[in-house]
């Protein structure tokens, strides 16, 4: 098969995954880790929060289970808190780093615990190592593409989220179901679907 034919087939699968990403209204609960990361090529200058030319991604991990990731416009507290309230069950134990944007979690009905990464990476059960592991998992897989446009980035991000969450499953029947669900949406551009899922 030609490269273009294979690329179109794989891209259809990515679009199907993205279109179905928010269909499951599952609230995460129990012990939760939340964090944000920044995706993009290696550039000189500041790294992490406030780095220029990077795509901010917010992640929520239910320990020993699933992850939910979302491209965000920025990492301001209002955006991160709104996404947490929509996805995390009230009363859950939420672990974060010491970013001040997470301070209001206590007032949103969560038990908020934070760890100072400048001194240590874990304090008993207080850590975000699981989500840090997912960021490494995602970046390791994205680097092989040698650059992804910001507009198409959510397609690749949701593919990685899907693979992580179904790492112990047979994904073939799930993919077939997703593609069949996509058929009524066939008149929409992939990027239109992409934009409707983004913030």
Instruction: Point out which residues pair with 71 in neighbouring strands.
Output: 57
Indicate the pLDDT class of residue 197, thresholds 50, 70 and 90. very low
pLDDT for 123 equals: 78
Indicate the pLDDT class of residue 49, thresholds 50, 70 and 90. low
On whether the CB atoms of residues 68 and 60 are closer than 8 A, the answer is yes
pLDDT for 182 equals: 76
- Average model confidence (pLDDT) across the chain: 85
On whether the CB atoms of residues 190 and 15 are closer than 8 A, the answer is yes
On whether the CB atoms of residues 56 and 72 are closer than 8 A, the answer is yes
Residue (of 165, 138, 124) closest to 39 by Cα position: 138
- Mean pLDDT across 41-50: 59
- pLDDT tens digits, 148-184: 888 889 999 999 999 999 999 999 999 999 988 877 6
- pLDDT tens digits, 101-129: 899 998 999 999 998 877 777 878 888 99
- Mean pLDDT across 119-146: 87
Of residues 11 and 196, the one with the higher pLDDT is 11
Chosen CATH of 3-197 out of 3.40.190.170, 3.40.190.10, 3.40.50.720, 3.30.420.10: 3.30.420.10
Q: Rounded to whole angstroms, how far apart are CA atoms 41 and 143?
A: 8
Per-domain residue ranges of the chain: 3-197
């Amino acid at each position: 098969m030609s490269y273009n034919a294979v690329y179109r087939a794989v891209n259809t699968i990515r679009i199907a995954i993205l279109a179905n990403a928010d269909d499951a209204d599952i609230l995460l609960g129990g012990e939760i880790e939340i964090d944000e990361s920044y995706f993009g090529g290696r550039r000189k200058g500041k790294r992490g929060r406030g780095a220029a030319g990077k795509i901010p991604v917010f992640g929520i991990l239910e320990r020993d289970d699933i992850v939910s990731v979302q491209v965000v416009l920025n990492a301001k507290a209002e955006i991160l808190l709104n996404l947490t309230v929509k996805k995390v069950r009230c009363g859950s134990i939420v672990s974060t780093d010491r970013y001040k944007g997470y301070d209001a979690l206590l007032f949103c009905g969560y038990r908020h615990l934070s760890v100072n990464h400048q001194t240590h990476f874990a304090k008993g059960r207080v850590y975000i190592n699981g989500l840090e592991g997912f960021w490494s998992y995602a970046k390791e897989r994205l680097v092989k593409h040698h650059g992804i446009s910001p507009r198409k980035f959510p397609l690749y991000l949701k593919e990685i989220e899907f693979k992580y969450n179904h790492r112990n499953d047979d994904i073939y029947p799930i993919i077939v179901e997703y593609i069949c669900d996509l058929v009524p949406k066939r008149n929409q551009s992939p990027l239109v679907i992409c934009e409707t899922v983004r913030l």
